[in-house]
Structure 1
Amino acid sequence: MARSTASTPRRWAFARHPFVYELDTWVWLSDLSSRTGRPVNLSTVPAADWDAIADLGFDAVWLMGVWTRSPAGVSVALADRELVDSFRAALPDYAPEDVIGSAYCIRAYDVAPELGGRAGLAVARSALAARGIALLLDFVPNHVAPDHEWTSTHPEYFVRGSAADVDHDPESFTDVGGRILANGRDPYFPAWRDVVQLNAFDPGLRAAVVDVLRDIADQCDGVRCDMAMLVVNDVFARTWGERVGEPPDAEYWPATIDAVHRTHPEFTFLAEAYWDMEALLQDQGFDFCYDKRLYDRLVDGDVAGIRAHLAADPAFQDRLVRFVENHDEPRAAAVFDAAREKAATVATLTQTGARLMHGGQLDGAKVRVPVFLRRGPHEDVDAELAAFHRSLLDALRDDTFRTGTWRPCQTSGWPGDDSWARLVAWCWQGDARWLVVVNLGPTPARALTRVPLTDVRGRTHRLTDPTTGLSVVRSGDDLADGLFVELGPWQWHLFRLDEIPTG
């Protein structure tokens, strides 16, 4: 396996374990424009709104969907009845002009003029940096829009087809300026008809991608790479076979990431990754990779699987991205009831690695807005969930959750009582000490929880949960030998441990 020459993963300097806030840029700015009664772009976002994000404690903002989208992609979307039905379902007063094309059908890696262009993005980046917040943008390695300039200037960058392919499989091939190009695809699903497939094996494309990424790196602090596993050599070869020939000796990502790091050494790469390829992509140079496995197990209620997953090598877990919602998944408030969502959120946001929240999630939004739309629907704030999320984020402002060390805790029970298996537990040690125990089941659970923190024996501690107000006093021997914990359905303890002086 090819390896990145980077000896250690890059990190935003102020956050080894960052909290990332994803904003659908068009929808967010539309909301701000409605609220303020005037057009708002990236250069005119009110300072109070940047302050509000900073006050929540996020270390990075991912402005999803800033690049110039495709008129050709809009036409494809509007002709797709299933897509249009999804637009109407999300937006009660939907109109065709609300469709601006997919955020991942990119015509050019130029900031959309309607959003303020490159200059507007620079203003937004400066505003974030002044508040100690990094900026994350998108990069799509697998495909571009059919009206991207490369389709005419560099047709060799694409997977090609023939007139016979169009006749045989018109959903997977398209005529672009007299050339037959393959539509972009994931090998397990039908092709995406609004985009055309880049040939990840072409050396000219690889060189051009480095230039694109270096230009992006001039404008932000990191990229979230869409469907990053699709351009790994063996995946790409299995997907496209003889059409793309033999894989090159070098893997796509190590060569690309190393080239970008030669000019932008602190630039961060985050991978959208599936199919248990997270470790491979980490090995190829990614700083962080999506943790879809944890998400799926939370949704499925697979506590045994979660416990096994969290027992993996901490060095691997340090480079995962934990979430209960993003733009590709249903809204958490639509998947879980309120009690279960709170437990899943505590279990996710207190993990090691990067932690991701999505715009609207904080206030309990339930409508997933398709990435083709310029605006979303009005939804009332769920006051209970909003208060919970803000109290949790306030507790997680402690730098221990960014720069400290995470360790799993052992839990055990008693003969005839297997309820302990529904509890998951871990601790953090840094400037402060924290213990997290969560009941991921619908019935009460109890366990002995052994806390592997250093220097706790012989010392008395006050355990305080800022999210619930609970405060108890326990000896260090109890913590080390096994702290008795009993929690109701979907309840948790987020305890800060403070030593009580004696004498």
Structure 2
Amino acid sequence: MRTNPHILEINTAVWLNKLSEKYGKKIPLCHVPDEELDKFKKYGFDAVWLMGIWKRSPEAREVAQNNEEIKRAIAAFNPNYDKKYIAGSPYAIYDYTIDPDLGTEDGLKNFRQRLNERGVALLLDFVGNHFAIDHPQTLENPDFFINTGMEAPAQNPEWFFRTEKGVFIAHGRDPYFPPWTDTAQLNYFNPKTQEYMLQCLERISSFCDGVRCDMSMLSLNKVMKDTWGNYLKYDYPKEEFWTKAVSKIKNINPLFSFIAEVYWGLEWDIQEMGFDYTYDKVLYDRLRFSTAEAIEAHLGAEHLFQMRSIRFISNHDEESALKAFGKEKSLAAAAIISTIPGAKMFSLDQILGHKEKIPVQYTLESEKDDEEIISFYQKLLSIINHPSFHGGQWTVKKVLSVNDSLTYKNVLCCSWVQGIEHKIVVINYSNAEAVCKVTLKRFKFKELKDDIAGKPVDIPVEEAYKNGITLQLKPYEIKIYGTTI
């Protein structure tokens, strides 16, 4: 993948059902039409993350179909939904084989090959923290999991379930939330668990070019110790699982990519274990809840950390960007994450302008596409596909006040320079008008072009070079300029 790659998350089951309806026949992965794959290359995506590709659990399906919260969420946008389209969670994995509803292993290999022929990588899920409650290993090797043997747990019995063989196994759990009742918690203090999961990861790596590792921090030794304490039974590991995992797979394929979903300020720890990219939830929260000044402060972090961060305003865990941010703010936020260093992750729902968050257990699309939003993203993706955003030098630029107005503080500005090409990004990240001056004296340029409007800026070049440009910006207005030095 390029430096600062563009990644598209696709809910695989929903996407294939939509394609099946579009083409009037069932479309498994191996039969996805070429014109659909061509779109990924056309819009400048470096990788496609097929979310939810692995075999789902029958028991997790039953849990989902009887979960009142899931049913209410679906009924909110589709009151007449058919229960058969509620599958088990894609994060309660029964087996690391492709789900038969989506295709075959040969079909997955063919899909990857066709993507690669277009210069697009394939990313798949690796859920390291847990398996589904009916995963075969819960019966064959219960000590792979946190368990209390045949004796019921003395504390927090709601954290556990009992297998057919009478062993009490813990559900997967984030320590800040209730357990995921369709999952079984793996015990990484057991060396045999680590060996088994390394085998699973090596198998997954044969089908793809990288993995997105779900809730990666939960498998860290300290986090596991703090979460599960005396239930662990085994000695504290001498090495982190992720250090071994990244080393093992990259020894096989040095170009293989590791992306971590990680929170709690542990991003740098995970990066130091060899991960290529880590979630930047801090930026998401600042974009959603804070100010331009707070966002700019976050972008002052160490450059390598910035390069290894993955920026997003939408994914399957979050509210839709349109609902979380509002329309205009969401588009401005999208422009910000698209024009700073690091990987940029977009969800297909985001690009299609969908407002509803689909529960991951539901496999049908919830609403019609929004052509205005699609048009915006087509334009934005086309602009940021320029080499300057992938090989250039990035700098945060300070804008100046005009007539003592303080609204310049709401404006974010940065520049990218590669060779004779120069890009300048100016965004008013507020719900009020802003006025500011952007200085251009560092670069002697021949023409100033408005990349969004697709035409030259109506200002004499010498005047712009000497005095800068004064901008009156509407709420959440985006300006991206291109110059040739």
Shorter-chain TM-score tier: over 0.9
CA distance in 1, matches of 2:264, 2:147: 27
Aligned partner of residue 114 in structure 1, secondary structure: coil
Alpha-carbon distance, 1:99 to partner:
1.3
Aligned residues of 1:350 and 1:401 also touching (Cα < 8 A): yes
Code of the aligned partner of 2:475: P
1:93 matches 2:93: no
In structure 1, what is the equivalent of residue 365 of structure 2? 376
Query: Percent identity of the aligned residues?
Result: 35
TM norm structure 2: 0.94
1:463 matches 2:451: no
Deviation larger for 164-173 or 242-251: 164-173
Code of the aligned partner of 2:159: S
TM norm structure 1: 0.91
Aligned residues of 2:352 and 2:374 also touching (Cα < 8 A): yes
CA distance in 2, matches of 1:186, 1:452: 51
Deviation larger for 330-339 or 53-62: 330-339
1:363 matches 2:348: no
Alpha-carbon distance, 1:215 to partner:
1.1
Please list the CA deviations of residues 306-365 of structure 1 after superposition, one character each: whole Å capped at 9, or x if unmatched: 010011122111111111111111111122332222211111111211001111211211
Aligned partner of residue 435 in structure 1, secondary structure: strand
Alpha-carbon distance, 1:90 to partner:
4.0
Code of the aligned partner of 1:339: E
Instruction: Give the one of 429, 434, 446 matched to 2:435.
Output: 446
Instruction: Give the one of 261, 266, 280 matched to 2:255.
Output: 266
CA distance in 2, matches of 1:476, 1:282: 45
Distance 1:66 1:497, change over 3 A: same
Instruction: Give the one of 154, 159, 182 matched to 1:194.
Output: 182
In structure 2, what is the equivalent of residue 486 of structure 1? 472
Query: Structure 2: which 5+ runs fail to align?
Result: none
Instruction: Give the one of 23, 34, 38 matched to 1:47.
Output: 34
CA distance in 2, matches of 1:173, 1:482: 65
1:396 matches 2:381: no
CA distance in 1, matches of 2:441, 2:228: 49
CA distance in 2, matches of 1:232, 1:248: 10
Please list the CA deviations of residues 88-147 of structure 1 after superposition, one character each: whole Å capped at 9, or x if unmatched: 224333122111100100000001122112111111111101111000000011000122
In structure 2, what is the equivalent of residue 497 of structure 1? 483
Instruction: Give the one of 4, 16, 21 matched to 1:34.
Output: 21
CA distance in 2, matches of 1:451, 1:161: 67
CA distance in 2, matches of 1:219, 1:213: 10
Instruction: Give the one of 152, 156, 179 matched to 1:169.
Output: 156
In structure 2, what is the equivalent of residue 252 of structure 1? 241
1:200-279 equivalence runs, <5 A? 200-244=188-232, 245-279=234-268
Distance 1:79 1:474, change over 3 A: same
Distance 1:69 1:429, change over 3 A: same
CA distance in 1, matches of 2:285, 2:269: 20
Distance 1:415 1:95, change over 3 A: same
Number of paired residues? 481
Code of the aligned partner of 2:160: F
Deviation larger for 229-238 or 169-178: 169-178
Alpha-carbon distance, 1:163 to partner:
6.5
Aligned residues of 2:115 and 2:121 also touching (Cα < 8 A): yes
Aligned residues of 1:323 and 1:356 also touching (Cα < 8 A): yes
Please list the CA deviations of residues 420-453 of structure 1 after superposition, one character each: whole Å capped at 9, or x if unmatched: 1111111112253211111101112233445696
Q: CA RMSD in A?
A: 2.1
Alpha-carbon distance, 1:416 to partner:
4.2
Aligned residues of 2:441 and 2:468 also touching (Cα < 8 A): no
Deviation larger for 88-97 or 361-370: 88-97
CA distance in 1, matches of 2:205, 2:388: 29
CA distance in 2, matches of 1:467, 1:213: 43
CA distance in 2, matches of 1:428, 1:452: 15
Code of the aligned partner of 1:251: E
CA distance in 1, matches of 2:152, 2:473: 60
Code of the aligned partner of 1:330: E
1:421 matches 2:406: no
Please list the CA deviations of residues 52-100 of structure 1 after superposition, one character each: whole Å capped at 9, or x if unmatched: 2221111100000000010011122223222222232243331221111
1:332-371 equivalence runs, <5 A? 332-371=321-360
Distance 1:139 1:498, change over 3 A: same
CA distance in 2, matches of 1:142, 1:422: 41
Distance 1:86 1:253, change over 3 A: same
CA distance in 2, matches of 1:165, 1:415: 72
Query: Structure 1: which 5+ runs fail to align?
Result: 1-11
CA distance in 2, matches of 1:79, 1:217: 34
Aligned partner of residue 31 in structure 2, secondary structure: coil
Please list the CA deviations of residues 225-266 of structure 1 after superposition, one character each: whole Å capped at 9, or x if unmatched: 001111111111111111115421211211211122121221
CA distance in 2, matches of 1:478, 1:312: 31
Deviation larger for 299-308 or 66-75: 299-308
In structure 2, what is the equivalent of residue 316 of structure 1? 305
Aligned residues of 2:16 and 2:27 also touching (Cα < 8 A): yes
4+ runs of 1 displaced by more than 3 Å? 162-170, 448-453, 473-486
